[in-house]
Structure 1
Amino acid sequence: MTARCEAASPADTSSSGTPSEADEPGPAALLSAAECVLFDFDGPLCRLFAGRPAAGVAARLAEGLSALGCDPEVLAARTDDPLALLQEVAKHHGDGPVTARAEWLLTAEETQAAAGATPTEHALELIGALDAGGWKQAVTTNNSPVAVARFLRRHHASAPAAEHIHGRTSDPALLKPDPHCLVRALESTGTAAAAAVMIGDSPADCLAAKAVGVPFIGYAVNERKRRALEDVGARCSVRSLRGLLETARQRVRSREPGAGPPGAGSRG
């Protein structure tokens, strides 16, 4: 049975109460021990399709691919999930022009959506506090890196830097749960897997992190999401980023003049 850890904060003090869970490091401990934070994008950082519903994106994607002769059964199978639709197209059509067109269309939709995406509560503040506290940061996502960059520029976020945005490539087979984007992020930041932590909201995020030995903090805004993460082995989850933000701010305060040496994981 997986343990449930909840980040404590002034507004969220719930935690597991069983003795077996006491040995599991909580989210604050995982963050404090890390040198680098790997963020999933849609969920932990923003609601990408808040103003541009995913089902509509998938429908437009299907419409565009239909004109290219994409198998109608493939298009009908995943009409509400654009990423799943892309994967189905790739499985059926391989790396040919139909798959390339599907990826191009989805990138265009995501980039438009990023212009109006709603930031997740406390996410932008957390990015800033992590940067000030000395953590390295990267984005590891199944979405287009172009969309991520547009979102971060729109909110004047200087971190994660562009070279640490690792998103979808031209090969849909490398989408999470394949750990490809995590491996690239660890390489680009010069971080060992055990010295990083990933914040993600999907089973695919958790499985990708487990595949390379990166500790994982689930972002689960409801019980359904928490149970889905637990089902694939996630041992810690948070309902809000507020507790993690406070942990980061504590390190920032500790780095101020007269506060003593910086905490573990700060940049040299």
Structure 2
Amino acid sequence: MIEELRDLITGARWVLFDFDGPLCRLFAGHRAHDVADSLADRLERHGRPVPLTEEERAFGDPYTVLRAVARARPGSELVRTLEEELTREELRAAATARPTPYADPLVRTWSAVGGRLALMTDSSPLVAEEYLTGRGLAGCFTPHIYGRTPGPDHPEPGPDRLGRALTAWGARPAETLRIGGTPSDLFAARETGVRFLGHARDERRTRRLLGAGAAVVVDDLEPVLRVVRATARV
């Protein structure tokens, strides 16, 4: 694992973090499943059932609900209303978000040794900025925080969105490392030629990433921190 991490990290001048997972557990005290159910129930009460698979419903991801509605009714007022409601729920969740162990020192260390850090998330950028400011980490990322924005395609992760972020950031794909927690993160990184390090906080998420083809998945950032520190001393 250490050798694989060293291969990924060495030569990675740009590091693009996901937010919920690698940096924190956003819904630690405000359950994501409850938020997803609330969004879906609101739609069904108004006669607009969400086109979700059984697996998607079981996973309880509010972002999946928003993406499903955006696909079914792109650019609609309904999508905008749901996005605004989700942002309110995220802001509530940020107050009780739980930092991922070793994430704070990893960010500070990587920034201190010259790494160029950015954040790309399906969450609202307002939420990410509020959390990072509260942890004293905003300066390590700003102005390169790429979050959900209004628009017909805004909830959908993918290589086009990642490519636009890299262009705005001025990053070279071959020298960029994406730290993400979903198969969508992996596929987007692969399509754009970006290195990928999977982070999963439980066995189910680990299996999803490995099943999607991720070469390296960690459930603990401590070895990543060790490699960053060792690489900086070389």
- In the alignment, is the contact (CA less than 8 A) between 2:125 and 2:145 conserved in 1? yes
What is the aligned partner in structure 1 of residue 4 from structure 2?
26
TM-aligned CA deviation for residue 169 of structure 1: 2.1
Give the match for residue 137 of structure 2.
157
**2:206–2:217: 8 Å Cα contact kept in structure 1?**
yes
SS in 2 for 1:43: coil
The Cα of 1:198 is off from its aligned counterpart by 0.7
Residue of structure 2 equivalent to 1:258? none
Task: Report the more deviating stretch, 41-50 or 56-65.
Answer: 56-65
Identity %: 37
Whether the 8 Å CA contact 2:74–2:153 is kept in 1: the answer is no
Match of 1:44 in 2: 22
Alignment of 1:55 with 2:67, yes or no, is: no
The Cα offsets for residues 221-266 of structure 1, whole Å up to 9 and x where unpaired, read as 34433332122221112221111111222345x3xxxxxxxx6xxx
Q: Is the CA contact (8 Å cut-off) linking 1:139 and 1:185 kept in structure 2?
A: no
Question: Offset of 1:28 from its aligned partner?
Answer: 2.1
Structure-2 residue corresponding to 1:178:
158
Does 2:107 match 1:116? no
Contact kept, 8 Å, 1:176 with 1:208, in 2: the verdict is no
Equivalent pairs, count: 231
Task: Please report the RMSD computed on the Cα atoms of aligned residues, expressed in angstroms.
Answer: 2.4
Please give the secondary structure, in 1, of the residue aligned with 2:37: helix
Structure 1 counterpart of 2:86, one-letter code: L
For residues 48 and 133 of structure 1, what CA distance do their matches in structure 2 show? 27
Which of residues 178, 186, 189 is equivalent to 1:198?
178
What secondary structure is seen at the aligned counterpart in 2 of 1:198?
Answer: strand
The correspondence of residues 75-224 of structure 1 with structure 2, limited to 5 A, is 80-171=60-151, 173-175=153-155, 177-224=157-204
Structure 2 vs 1, CA of residues 73 and 209 (structure 1 numbering), >3 Å: closer, same or farther?
Answer: closer
CA contact (8 A) 2:14 2:116 kept: yes
Which residue, out of 197, 206, 221, partners 1:241? Answer: 221
My pick for the range that moved more, 238-247 or 48-57, is 238-247
Letter matched to residue 5 of structure 2: P
Q: Which moved more, 1:220-229 or 1:90-99?
A: 220-229
Larger gyration radius, structure 1 or structure 2 = 1
> What does the per-residue CA deviation read over 1:82-118, in whole Å, with 9 as the maximum and x for residues that have no partner?
1111112222222111111011111111122112210
Structure holding more helix per residue? 2
Q: CA distance change for structure 1 residues 175 and 207 in 2, over 3 Å: closer, same or farther?
A: farther
Provide the rounded CA distance (Å) in 1 between the counterparts of 2:191 and 2:125: 22
Aligned counterparts of 1:70 and 1:151: Cα–Cα separation in 2: 35
Residue 149 of structure 1 and its aligned partner are, at CA, apart by 0.6
The CA distance in 2 between the partners of 1:154 and 1:120, in whole Å, is: 14
Gaps of 5+ in 1: 1-5, 9-24, 255-262, 264-268
Whole-Å separation in 2 of the counterparts to 1:226 and 1:48: 18
Which amino acid letter does the alignment assign opposite residue 24 of structure 2?
C
What is the deviation of 1:140? 1.2
CA distance in 1, matches of 2:208, 2:10: 25
Q: Is the 8 A contact 2:183 2:212 kept in 1?
A: yes
Task: In structure 2, give the amino acid aligned to 1:71.
Answer: R
Matched residues in 2 for 1:73 and 1:205: separation? 23
Range with greater deviation from structure 2 (161-170 or 147-156): 161-170
Q: Which moved more, 1:132-141 or 1:75-84?
A: 75-84
